[in-house]
């Protein structure tokens, strides 16, 4: 029986793959057989070393999504059929103190760049008449409000909405668009929460799994949604949150 989770012969672009979730996703896709291009604004050298150590193939690409159109010309003729939109930033401040620059920077990277990167990817697939997979990284804050992260919350709500809209438009064209909503994962973005004793305690008490997630906890979901096992899944936002939203 053919392994429906195999990504052999596929080529994936993973954005923000120098650390954290993006790194784990890139490593997992490569382990599943994909040729992975690690895109980031800082060198993904560590990610490339991990992938090489497991005998898999990867390369790097400099992309800075503070320019939302940074990936406009990346896909033409390059043979990509998987896109993981993981790149993202966060800014924290009370809503009454939040600045326009912090709003715009987060929205540009987390939502505007995601849309135009996915648009460029889909245009190339359609021009070639080829199927493909898009995996967006959403958030628990695609469903909840959170506190002190207004632009991040707005952007992640937008990611969930765009995932559904693009699935509606592209499912019949053979392009699967889905998202993963990670829970509280140990990454750079959550360091401020983890070092705050009160916030850390409150978060752990809410998580049925009774632990913070690890980047590797997200990787398997990304492989699944990138594989033929997910061929009939369109517009889904898969919660990988230790049971947070079930509570």
Count of domains observed in the chain: 1
Catalytic residue among 65, 75, 80, 152: 152
- Whether residue 3 is contained in a domain is answered as no
Residue 4 lies in a domain: no
Q: For residue 95, what are its two tokens?
A: 């809503």
In sequence order, the 6+-apart residues with CB closer than 8 A to the CB of 100 are none
pLDDT digits (tens, 9 = 90+) for 38-69: 999 999 999 999 999 999 989 999 999 999 99
- Tell me the residue range of the domain where 19 lies: 11-239
Mean pLDDT, rounded, of the chain: 96
Is 184 a residue of the active site? Answer: no
pLDDT in tens, 97-109: 999 999 999 999 9
Q: Tokens in use for 209?
A: 């799994």
Work out the number of other CB atoms within 10 angstroms of the CB of residue 114: 28
Task: Output the CA angle 187-188-192, nearest 5 degrees.
Answer: 105
CATH number at residue 78: 3.40.50.720
| Cβ count near 1 (within 10 Å) | 3
- The pTM of the full predicted model, rounded to 2 decimals, is 0.96
* pLDDT for res 15: 98
pLDDT tens, 178-210?
A: 999 999 999 887 888 899 999 999 999 999 999
């Amino acid at each position: 029986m053919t392994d429906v989770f195999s990504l052999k012969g596929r080529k994936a672009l993973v954005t923000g793959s120098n650390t954290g979730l993006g790194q784990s996703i890139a490593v997992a896709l490569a382990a599943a057989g994909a040729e992975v291009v690690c895109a980031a604004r800082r060198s993904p050298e560590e990610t490339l070393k991990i992938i090489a150590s497991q005998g898999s193939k990867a390369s790097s690409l400099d992309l800075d999504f503070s320019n939302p159109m940074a990936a406009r010309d990346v896909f033409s003729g390059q043979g990509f059929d998987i896109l993981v939109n993981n790149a993202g930033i966060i800014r924290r401040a009370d809503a009454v103190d939040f600045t326009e620059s912090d709003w715009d920077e987060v929205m540009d990277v987390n939502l505007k760049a995601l849309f135009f990167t996915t648009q460029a990817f889909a245009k190339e697939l359609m021009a070639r008449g080829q199927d493909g997979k898009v995996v967006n990284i959403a958030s628990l804050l695609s469903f909840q409000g959170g506190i002190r992260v207004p632009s991040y919350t707005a952007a992640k709500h937008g990611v969930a909405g765009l995932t559904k809209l693009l699935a509606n438009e592209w499912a019949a064209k053979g392009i699967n668009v889905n998202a993963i909503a990670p829970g509280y994962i140990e990454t750079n973005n959550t360091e401020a929460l983890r070092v705050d004793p009160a916030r850390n305690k409150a978060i752990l008490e809410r998580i049925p799994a009774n632990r913070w997630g690890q980047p590797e906890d997200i990787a398997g979901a990304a492989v699944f949604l990138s594989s033929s096992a997910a061929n009939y899944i369109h517009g889904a936002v898969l919660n990988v949150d230790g049971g947070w939203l079930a509570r």
